[in-house]
Amino acid sequence: MNLNKYLDVKPEVAEAIAAGKPVVALESTIISHGMPYPQNVQTALEVERIIRENGAVPATIAIIGGRLKAGLTAEEIEYFGKKGTAIAKASRRDLAVLCARGEDGATTVTTTMIIAHMAGIKVFATGGIGGVHRGAETTMDISADLEELASTPVMVVCAGAKSILDLGLTLEYLETHGVPVIGYGTKELPAFYTRHSGFSVDYEIDTPEELAKAFKTQHELGLRGGMLVTNPIPEEYSMDAAVINGAIDEAIREAKEQGIHGKETTPFLLAKVKDLTGGNSLDANIQLVYNNARLAARTAKAYCEN
């Protein structure tokens, strides 16, 4: 644990970490920017319940009044969900100024990894990660999430990446930076709403115990950085590839037309895809997060047990 004067670890989380019990970190951008109110709050609370049911302690991570929070109360989750996109999306470059000014921030994969690591949490569950955007060869829009995976030792369990990104270039970037990309029960990188992308992962691993062992071995070898576990959406909730890809293409077209750039790009594309596909994509999104929470809790438990 690397405590600093800006970090507040919720007592239940601190006790679990001190006792060597499993904890799973969760991000807050998915609450404030990823889903509409009140489904965002309901989902965040249900994810915490699922993590408990599977033997781990949940720690939803956020920045509140300049404090780095590892573990939120139900009231704080409600506050984040209600304020929604009025809360600043906080990546690595935002942390210092937000803390210095005593402001709120919704943590992305990047900042959730940073704060989880400060608190001593090793496993983190989310929906999708940021990556190399389509057209990045001219825009240079590459998510800070990839750099963080390269340097911070936290396992990120996600459902792959949405094809708002260039999935091939995202995998190339992760390879260059030495981040293992694992498929849970699959050799193919899942594409968030669908189980298939046409791209291969580095390794297929089929049990939480083996995931935990691989990650522990990475630490014991002294290799820096995280591990990306991609867990396909359950078949019954997966979406029609043509429908979702059509919506993504349309969203990218509108973003270009409107000159959307910088930190607005990802939230803009996600919101557009959601509008274009209606409630179906929201349902799929919620279910894949539940699925990732289950796997992350079981993996955190296995990590602590051996």
Shortest CB 138 distance to ligand PSU, Å: 17
Taking the C-alpha atoms of residue 83 and residue 37, their distance in angstroms, rounded to an integer, is: 9
Q: Decide if 84 contacts 32 (C-beta within 8 A).
A: yes
Looking at the Cβ atoms of 27 and 78, the one nearer to ligand PSU is: 27
30 binds, among ligand PSU, Mn ion, none (CB under 5 to 8 A by kind): ligand PSU
CA 74 to chain centre: 20
Q: Binding of Mn ion at residue 148 (CB under 5 A)?
A: no
Q: Binding of ligand PSU at residue 160 (CB under 6 A)?
A: no
Taking the C-alpha atoms of residue 194 and residue 245, their distance in angstroms, rounded to an integer, is: 10
- Tell me the helices (H) and strands (E) count for the chain, helix number first: 13, 11
Which tokens belong to 14? 């601190």
Of the candidates 27, 48, 78, 148, the residue annotated as catalytic is 27
Phi–psi pair at 40, nearest 5 degrees: -60, -40
Q: Which of 10, 69, 117, 263 touches ligand PSU (CB under 6 A)?
A: 263
Q: Which stretch binds ligand PSU (CB under 6 A): 57-65, 75-83, 139-147, 194-202?
A: 139-147
Q: What is the DSSP letter of 91?
A: -
Q: Tell me if residue 272 is catalytic.
A: no
Q: Binding of Mn ion at residue 141 (CB under 5 A)?
A: yes
Say which amino acid occupies 172: E
Shortest CB 302 distance to ligand PSU, Å: 25
Taking the C-alpha atoms of residue 188 and residue 181, their distance in angstroms, rounded to an integer, is: 10
How many other C-beta atoms can be found within 10 angstroms of the C-beta atom of residue 205?
A: 21
Q: Which stretch binds ligand PSU (CB under 6 A): 16-24, 103-111, 197-205, 241-249?
A: 103-111
Q: Tell me if residue 27 is catalytic.
A: yes
Of the candidates 10, 162, 272, 274, the residue annotated as catalytic is 162
Residues making contact with ligand PSU (CB under 6 A):
27, 29-30, 34, 108-110, 127-130, 143-145, 162, 192, 263, 266, 270
